[in-house]
């Protein structure tokens, strides 16, 4: 009974995220099926995906409570409780605060800080980074040998960040090869782990 309740609660997290994103009632109904389906295909599963979504809500809430505008330029990638911070802030003190707040949240395993101090970051830089993300997403999506749902992508200052789970070392190499081929990328920082091998079934002793 406990597992049924947990599964229901995890599904509610996915539904709530869609509603908060501003979906229409029809879009929510259609989106919930797609969202839950994608979550179950993700190596984290529905529960793991929901846990990371809850962490995202908590982090954004902490930042907004501290200062509604100071951290709007900070990017956030979360996978299995591991948080990668990207983007920019205006002052070093804001960077310190952003990292401290994330580290204080229950459920966060590790924090990787790549926040840049850049008070002059503007729309032009953001547009370049968004083009890099879109190009990389297209590249791995159309590669039949890469499970693109298992990867988070971000870019900041033309550095491409990749986080996720590769099915094999070969898949990881393919993903990184795609990253190197994306126009405009100056640097690549990856947090990709190789999927744990399936356990070998126990052999019954012979008679």
Write out the two tokens for 161.
């960040």
Among 70-79, 118-127, 135-144, name the one with the lowest average pLDDT: 118-127
Rounded distance, CA 45 to CA 8, Å? Answer: 14
Domain with CATH 3.30.1340.30 in the chain: 2-117
Q: Say what the pTM is.
A: 0.77
- Are the C-beta atoms of 78 and 56 separated by less than 8 Å? yes
**Protein fold of 2-117:** 3.30.1340
Res 11: pLDDT: 45
Secondary structure of residue 189 in the 3-state scheme: strand
pLDDT over 90 at 207, yes or no? no
Q: Residue 193: is it exposed, middle or buried by C-beta count within 10 angstroms (0-12/13-18/19+)?
A: middle
Residue 43: alpha-carbon gap to chain centroid: 13
Residues in contact with 110: Cβ distance below 8 Å, sequence separation at least 6, in sequence order:
81, 82, 83
123-194: in CATH 3.30.70: no
């Amino acid at each position: 009974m406990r597992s049924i309740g947990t599964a229901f609660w995890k599904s509610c997290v996915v539904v709530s995220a869609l509603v908060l994103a501003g979906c229409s009632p029809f879009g929510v109904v259609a989106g919930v099926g797609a969202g839950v389906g994608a979550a179950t295909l993700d190596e984290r599963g529905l529960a793991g995906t929901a846990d990371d979504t809850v962490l995202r809500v908590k982090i954004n809430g902490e930042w907004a409570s501290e200062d509604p505008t100071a951290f709007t330029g900070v990017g956030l990638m979360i996978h299995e409780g591991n948080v990668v911070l990207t983007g920019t802030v205006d002052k070093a003190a804001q960077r310190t605060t952003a990292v401290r707040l994330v580290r204080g949240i229950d459920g966060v395993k590790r924090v990787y800080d790549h926040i840049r101090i850049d008070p002059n970051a503007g729309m032009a830089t953001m547009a370049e980074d968004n083009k890099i993300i879109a190009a990389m997403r297209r590249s791995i999506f159309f590669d039949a040998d890469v499970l693109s749902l298992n990867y988070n992508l971000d870019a900041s200052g033309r550095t491409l960040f990749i986080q996720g789970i590769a099915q094999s070392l070969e898949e990881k190499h393919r993903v990184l090869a795609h990253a190197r081929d994306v126009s405009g990328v100056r640097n690549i920082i990856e947090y990709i782990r190789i999927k744990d091998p399936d356990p070998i079934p126990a052999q019954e002793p012979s008679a």
